Amino acid sequence: MKAIVPASDSTFLPTLVEINHEITAILDLDQLLRKIAELTQRIVPYQIFAIFLVDDARKDLYYRFAIGHTKEMVQTLRIPFGEGLIGTAAAERKPVVVDDVLDDPRYIVAVEAARSELAVPLISKNRVVGVLDIESPEVGYFRDEQVRLLNLLASQIAIAIENASVYESELRNRQVLSVLYDISLDMTSTLEVEEVLRRIAAAVKSIVNYHIFSIFQLDQRSSLLKVKTVIRSNERENEKLTVPLGKGLVGAAALMNEPVRVGDVTKDPRYIEVHPETRSEIVVPLTHKGSVIGVIDLENTVVDYFTENHQRLLQTLASRIAAALVNSQLYAKVSENERRMDREMKIARQIQIQLMPEEIPNVPGMDIAVMFNPVAHLGGDLYDFIMFDDGRIAIVAGDVAGKGAPAALYAALSSGIIRTRATRKYPSGQMLELVNKTLFSRPIESQYCALTYAIYDPKTRRIVLANSGLPYPILLRDGKTRFLELGGVPVGLLPDSKYQELELELQNGDVLVFYTDGLVEARDDSDEDFGLKRLAQTVREHCTESAQDIVKAVSQAVDSFIGGVPPHDDRTLIVIKISESNGLQNTRHFPMNVAVGGQDLLPID
């Protein structure tokens, strides 16, 4: 292409105005630099062209656009002010023209074929923003008129570049804020530690291209930084690296609670070599509630790769990374505790089941069935059957205040006391008094137990009951249900409680029901209790069936009543059905509405 070289400023003025109009209308920096290269070609035809911009923080110049330069050179060459022809033009604020670069000791070889060079500083508002550089394989290629015209155009180029840079910076800041927001959402959308670490690495990669990524966590007790994750060339590595606080770049950043950015690690005495290919490194502390909890460490194989902008971005992201790590670790700890507690609860449940009767005893003339449904792994209800050597059987049903492990432990304590005392064959009322005294002497805050204790003699078919706060037992006889009004203070609550006894002679076909309040207080979605009447009705409707079938019918009735409402209390049910006479003679029949053992049998129909 033939260069446009007007004979005078007046003839060049239209061209200058045209060029100024074209470049000032462009705000995209990459597009602007391409347009500048195209317009420069109209003034000075070239094969080798570059625009260097100033890095204010480092006081040097770096490639921002290049034609005819190698990729490696563009990525690595940085020119300090005052060095080389380009640095000289920037420092002296005037064009530098060299007819033969081989004769100029200031020349920095960027393109082997170059012989002559023209470097024009780009100045806006008295500030050097960059240098326009053209090289030619011909000696003495550049003419004075070309130099003068480019120098006239340079200020317009500088203004356009500065405007585009400001626009690019604002646009980049908006994009970064958007990315940081998306990253924050992504990192906090999971609480699994490994997944959080993976997402953090991906999030950082999206804004800072690293070769090696590491997160170290500070162990406060040992003052050691322990590696949590290392990703090298996009692959996870299993390193067991620890760094003392204050040692190396990682330890220094954590100790000072300040970022550490090193352009060339080989020149920093603090550097601890772990990855031989590393040339530059940046370490940013992670803080939570004012305390350092670790660091994020990025490494690159290129010298001076990490910039101040990278540091600002990582510092902005650091608080979010720290929060995500803390939350995920808390979640992991809670999850592990829950798993441990679940395992322990399952073991405790197995132990509780072992404390229950292994099987229902075989008592002549008595059909027994049991339902035991704790609301959680462990229940506060209890039941037991204790066979005496004289053929009698003690029947126990109980309900401890509260739920879960404390109630289960108190139930186990109560069961142990009952079994220990039962060997002496105490009468029912006296038995409850002894259990009460023992529990009261070993007080446990807010714990007490409602118990029904009954002793049945199959030889006489007599049963003697005492009650300490459990719902009244139900007796079904001749198709009619009655409850046995037998009250009492729960054991373990008051020191000198006394308990009355009720003695009955049972008949063929009688059904006796013991139950805890969790059964009759089971509620549906309208907060209505299943209630005593529904329980009695269900027993009555199935009274001709076996004890097991009655238990099954009651269980199904309760479940059907509450529907999908989760049960709020343990449910225990003991059903005893008296079978044929087994040859007993002269059995006594007690009318349903007369006083027996000092207590009335009151109807509930």
Same domain membership, residue 168 and residue 79? yes
590 is a domain residue: no
Return the CATH number at 61. 3.30.450.40
- b or e along 54-76 (b: 16 or more beta carbons within 10 Å of the residue's beta carbon)? beeeeebbbbbbbebbeeeeeee
Task: Say what the pLDDT of residue 16 is.
Answer: 66
Residue 588 φ then ψ, to 5°: -90, 145
Task: Say what the pLDDT of residue 562 is.
Answer: 93
Q: Which DSSP string corresponds to 196-236?
A: HHHHHHHHHHHHS--SEEEEEEEETTTTEEEEEEEEETTEE
Task: Say what the pLDDT of residue 13 is.
Answer: 59
Q: In what order do the strands lie in the sheet with 366-373?
A: 366-373, 571-578, 511-515, 474-477, 480-484, 601-603
Task: Say what the pLDDT of residue 70 is.
Answer: 93
CA distance 117 to 22: 26
338 is a domain residue: no
Contacts of 292 (CB under 8 A, 6+ apart): 218, 254, 257, 285, 286
Same domain membership, residue 363 and residue 328? no
599 is a domain residue: no
Q: Which residue has the tokens 């300090």?
A: 80
Same domain membership, residue 230 and residue 159? no
Q: pLDDT tens digits, residue range 324-372?
A: 788 877 877 887 887 887 787 777 777 777 777 878 899 999 999 999 9
577 is a domain residue: yes
User: Which tokens is 86 given?
Assistant: 């380009």
Q: pLDDT tens digits, residue range 464-500?
A: 999 999 999 999 999 999 999 998 999 999 999 999 9
Domain that holds residue 305: 188-332
Task: Give which of 543, 434, 575 is closest to 492, Cα–Cα.
Answer: 434
Task: Say what the pLDDT of residue 316 is.
Answer: 83
Same domain membership, residue 193 and residue 320? yes
Task: Say what the pLDDT of residue 332 is.
Answer: 75
Q: Are 435 and 421 in contact (CB under 8 A)?
A: yes
Domain final residue pick, 172, 206, 222: 172
Contacts of 43 (CB under 8 A, 6+ apart): 3, 4, 5, 146, 149, 150, 153
Q: Count how many domains the chain has.
A: 3
Q: Which residue has the tokens 């070309």?
A: 146
Same domain membership, residue 395 and residue 529? yes
Task: Say what the pLDDT of residue 12 is.
Answer: 57
Task: Say what the pLDDT of residue 190 is.
Answer: 61
1 is a domain residue: no
Contacts of 131 (CB under 8 A, 6+ apart): 51, 52, 61, 86, 89, 90, 119, 120, 121, 122
490 is a domain residue: yes
Same domain membership, residue 223 and residue 161? no
Same domain membership, residue 262 and residue 324? yes
Task: Say what the pLDDT of residue 604 is.
Answer: 43
Ranges in the chain, pLDDT < 70: 1-18, 175-176, 179-180, 183-184, 186-191, 193, 234, 581-605
Task: Say what the pLDDT of residue 184 is.
Answer: 67
Same domain membership, residue 322 and residue 242? yes
